[in-house]
Amino acid sequence: MSVRSFDELLALLSSHLERQNTSFRRSIPAVERLIITLRYLATGHSFASLHFEFLVGKTTVNIVHDTCRDIWNVLRDLVLKKPTCEDWCKIAEVFWDQCNFPNCLRAIDGKHMRVVMPIGSGTKYFNCKKYFSFVLLAVADANYCFSYIDIGWYGSSSDSSIFQRSSFGRMLRENVLDLPQDCPLPGTNGPPMPLVYVWDEAFALSEQLLRPYSNRCLSEEKQIFNYRLIRARRVVECSFGILANKWRLLHTPMNLKLENAISAVKAACVLHIFVRIHDGYLFEDFLMHDLEGAQWSASRGTTNGATVREGFSSYFVCCWFCPLAAGCHCIMCHAFFILILFRCLMFNCIQMQNNRSLTQIIKKDN
């Protein structure tokens, strides 16, 4: 966080963080409250370490919890605004420019936030990865900013069931998000296609929510679609990585009461968006890591969703679709396109050789 961003954040929060001085003691200044909280979120140090580092009382360090709640209450209306129809169109253009996936609005995924076992919780917060956590469900754009978060679900719940019960899932089903009208894919005169969200195999397929094909006997058309969808979906994974690496409290099991842990994660999320908007790319953002696999229960999609996915698949492999024709200058796209052409040529050569061998065998037999 830059000094300018810190000063602006302090100006927004100072009226909520200031406390009245009394004849018994002087209150902790708002700037010190904010610094202690940011230090805790950025390092994940224990309260005992903060007690020695800032020379405040052991119980006084608990001001971190109140400050996290104030950060969430002040910033959520500033950084988590509901997009208008024009905003949705701009978001789709950014996805097309950066990820080469047309008519895409957001990427959706969930992340487990590790905690020490909450008292009396049983196995509700014990997830499939064999540790205790609660779930952060997030919707991210191509600029690695969250536009919607839902925090506090049981770690044992699946991402699909969490989305179905979330307020965002309900708004999407009730069609109250002010989404743009369906439009043809770029460069085509075909039928209008809906603007969609992308997610992974843990979710069900629907008309506005696309998931990849299962990894069994895939044709080249379906492989290309999966490649494109993964490129678009990686933005939410990268957003989680940037969030956890800047606010390193999320790298450690949070030894807090559950409501305080949820407040800390909410504060980290809105601070992540605040820093991304004000500071931009001041550090390395792209994280390459292997994600641990998990066992998910199968979920069946809808027929309309399958039709939409087939339309996107055909679009990606249609005869005119070339990276240069689509205005894409990405090296990966050109390399992938050349690889496909090479494979097709090799397949045709092998097929012709087999046909010649078969013809020679038939002639010898005759």
Q: Write out pLDDT tens, residues 309-343.
A: 777 777 776 644 455 555 555 566 656 666 666 66
pLDDT confidence of residue 320: 43
Is the model more confident about 318 or about 85? 85
Is the model more confident about 99 or about 11? 11
The three-class DSSP label of residue 77 is: helix
Question: Treating both helix axes as pointing N-terminal to C-terminal, what angle do 258-279 and 3-17 enclose, rounded to 10 degrees?
Answer: 140
Q: How many other C-beta atoms can be found within 10 angstroms of the C-beta atom of residue 335?
A: 11
Instruction: Give how far the C-alpha of residue 106 lies from the chain's centroid of Cα atoms, to the nearest Å.
Output: 8
Specify which of 112-121, 267-276, 277-286 reaches the highest per-range mean pLDDT: 267-276
Predicted confidence band at 195 (pLDDT cuts at 50, 70, 90)? Answer: confident
pLDDT confidence of residue 94: 86
Boundaries of every domain in the chain = 3-77, 81-317, 332-366
Which residues touch 341 (CB under 8 Å, ≥6 apart)?
none
Is the model more confident about 338 or about 171? 171
pLDDT confidence of residue 359: 63
Is the model more confident about 13 or about 300? 13
Instruction: Please give the mean pLDDT across all residues of the chain.
Output: 81
Q: Residue 23: phi, psi to the nearest 5? A: -75, -15
Q: Which residue has the tokens 């010898």?
A: 364
Burial grade of 75 (CB within 10 A; 0-12, 13-18, 19 or more): buried
Burial grade of 195 (CB within 10 A; 0-12, 13-18, 19 or more): buried
Per residue in 242-280, pLDDT tens? 999 999 999 989 989 999 999 999 999 999 999 988 887
Predicted confidence band at 176 (pLDDT cuts at 50, 70, 90)? Answer: confident
Q: Are strands 196-198 and 104-114 parallel, antiparallel or unpaired?
A: parallel
The three-class DSSP label of residue 187 is: coil
> How far, in Å, CA of 142 to CA of 140, rounded?
7
Question: Rounded to whole angstroms, what are the CA distances from 66 to 41, 149, 316?
Answer: 13, 20, 50
Please give the DSSP secondary-structure letter assigned to residue 89. H
pTM of the model: 0.74
Planar angle of CA 83, 268, 277, nearest 5 degrees: 45
- Note whether 238 and 109 are within 8 A (CB): no
Sign of CA pseudo-dihedral 203, 204, 210, 216: positive
pLDDT confidence of residue 343: 66
Consecutive H or E run containing 108: strand 104-114
pLDDT confidence of residue 129: 86
| pLDDT of 64 above 70 | yes
- Note whether 279 and 144 are within 8 A (CB): no
pLDDT confidence of residue 69: 94
| pLDDT of 171 above 70 | yes
| pLDDT of 224 above 50 | yes
